Amino acid sequence: MRSRLPKVLHRIAGLSMLGHVLNGVSEAGADKVVVVVGPDREDVSNEARRLRPDAVIVVQTERLGTAHACLMARSQLAEGFDDVLVVFADTPLVQAGTYQALRAKIHQGASVAALGFHAADPTGYGRFLLEGDSLTAIREHKDASEAERRVTLCNAGLMAFDGKQALAILDAVTNHNAQQEFYLTDCVAIAADRGLSVSYAVAVQQEVMGVNDRLQLSQAEQVMQRRLRDRAMLSGVTMIDPASVTLSHDTVLGRDVLIEPHCVFDIGVRIGDGSTIKAFSHCEGATIGPDCVVGPYARLRPGSELASHVRIGNFVELKNVALSEGVKVNHLTYLGDASVGSQSNIGAGTITCNYDGFAKHKTVIGTHAFIGSNSALIAPVTIGDGAYVATGSVITDDVPADALALARGRQVNKAGGAAGLRLKLSSKT
């Protein structure tokens, strides 16, 4: 990946690849998870525990192959689970149904089951060698005969075991190969030679793609985005230009939500029924109620909470703000660390001055208040219900309910002053 970040912590749709795999196996019914990590990889361990607090972390100090990695979980394998899945944190697109298909093969009597795919170009992949419906071996491309190389059913790497036989099969794997590594794929031939049933399941090639560089990461992102957009549209969301919309893995969109082109939804966004997100808007950590309109060119940052029928217009930025029902913030405004009561109107160019260089302070605006354009509200400050702040005001003190606040310099007109000023300035050029 050419990165300081471990490969499996690179994100797809806002979630680490490891996270996608943990979510998938959890959804598939895994009641115990063991994560094998390399030495000094507390960052990977912490991510696993964050997403699956009951995950057991084991360390593979020496990199001696995939079967060797599995044996780092020897004590867990010895518990004799009904079935054991061996999966990889750099194959983030595998879905729960595919994991369940592998588990089903074990429940149907197989001792080992491998996951395969039909490759458009099988060059470089291990081939599945079959006898009837049974898998007898996985032959690496370099070791395959000409006839075997014509096989297009290839190894995806994932495998399932009968939990009561997994440890014995893994212990039988040797490192008698050019790399002197213990290969998980050898488990197929070991089980077949012992007369045990070996089966396989098939996934589409795209689902089992591994991610080993930034190019493949971007390809996986595209696949995940298509899945998320398709799921949203099938649940009742309209997207005018789906390919231009970016979703997070946890984005929640209600029915009859309309999303215009070039919108981005980062982590932690929920949008209620009937709301519209106009073009070029960016939302993160925001909750948008029903029947709201946001954008175009709006930015909702973490902590933004919109009740129903709120209107956010162009070039408005919100952070840590609660807007009650019917609030309008239509143009060129920044609201931070604030709450606004129902039916209030915030004029163009309004700023809540919430940071003094050391700490954040809150602005409270009541119901049915009117904040005139180009106003600066110096927090901490409270604007009462029904209060009116005149355009261009700098508010430093609380404004009582139903009061009119004016805080600006008095205008002075000097007759003929413009002509005199022009004459003075032109004489200097």
Residues annotated as catalytic are 331
Rounded Cα–Cα distance for residues 407 and 215 (Å)? 56
Structure tokens at 150: 């014509």
- Distance between CA 175 and CA 172 in Å, rounded? 10
Tell me the two tokens of residue 308: 């129903």
Is residue 337 classed exposed, middle or buried when 0-12, 13-18 and 19+ CB atoms within 10 A define those classes?
middle
Q: What angle do CA 391, 304, 340 make, to 5 degrees?
A: 40
What is the amino acid identity at position 218? S
State which amino acid sits at residue 166: A
Q: Which residues pair with 238 in a beta bridge?
A: 258
CA-based torsion, 47, 48, 52, 56: positive or negative: negative
Would you list the DSSP string of 164-188?
TTHHHHHHT----STT----TTHHH
Do the Cβ atoms of 186 and 175 come closer than 8 Å?
Answer: no
Contact residues for 184 (Cβ-Cβ < 8 A; gap 6+): 65, 66, 67, 70, 86, 157, 159, 173
387-392: long-range pairs with CB below 8 Å, 24+: 391/347
